[in-house]
């Protein structure tokens, strides 16, 4: 999708291993968001960033950490993955085109 790229697109990992997901934007926006999507829950906010090195927790932040060392990249880390973190993870930035929030194509993470 224009403006935002997530990597990897798919990841399978074992319980207890660390995992880092990357979100890269080319819109130079201050704000970036990480959501997870699970059946029956819609999307839920994990963490967000309002500038380089400025981050804050969302609704479901337990078990996750984030880092923003430069404007274009927002990393989501699962320090020790658990099966409950099997989900689809979406990164989003505001204001691309007419969209108040523009989403990447997601990373499907499976924790076995």
Binding site for another protein (CB under 8 A): 1, 31, 33, 35, 40-45, 48, 58-59, 90, 92, 94, 98-106
Smallest distance from another protein to CB 50, Å: 9
Bridge partners, residue 34, by sequence = 47, 91
Cα–Cα distance between 38 and 25 in angstroms, integer?
24
Comparing CB distances to another protein, the nearer of 17 and 105 is 105
Nearer to another protein, 18 or 38 (CB): 38
Task: Copy the structure tokens of residue 28.
Answer: 């130079």
The DSSP element (H or E) to which 3 belongs, if any, is none
Residues in the chain: 112
Question: First CA to last CA across the chain, in angstroms?
Answer: 29
CB atoms within 10 A of CB 22: 14
Pick 26 or 105: Cβ nearer another protein: 105
- Minimum CB–partner distance for residue 75 and another protein (Å): 18
**Which residue's CB is nearer to another protein, number 30 or number 70?**
30
Least distance from another protein to the Cβ atom of residue 49, Å: 11
Q: Would you say 11 and 106 are in contact if contact means Cβ atoms under 8 Å apart? A: no
Minimum gap (Å) between residue 101 Cβ and another protein? 5
């Amino acid at each position: 999708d224009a403006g935002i790229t997530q990597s990897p697109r798919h990841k399978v990992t074992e319980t207890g291993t660390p995992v880092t997901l990357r979100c890269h934007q080319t819109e130079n926006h201050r704000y970036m968001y990480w959501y997870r999507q699970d059946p029956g829950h819609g999307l839920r906010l994990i963490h967000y960033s309002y500038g380089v090195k400025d981050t804050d927790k969302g609704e479901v932040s337990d078990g996750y950490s984030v880092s923003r060392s430069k404007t274009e990249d927002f990393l989501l880390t699962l320090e020790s993955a658990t099966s409950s973190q099997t989900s689809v993870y979406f990164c989003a930035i505001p204001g691309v085109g007419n969209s108040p929030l523009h989403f990447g194509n997601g990373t499907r993470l499976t924790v076995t």
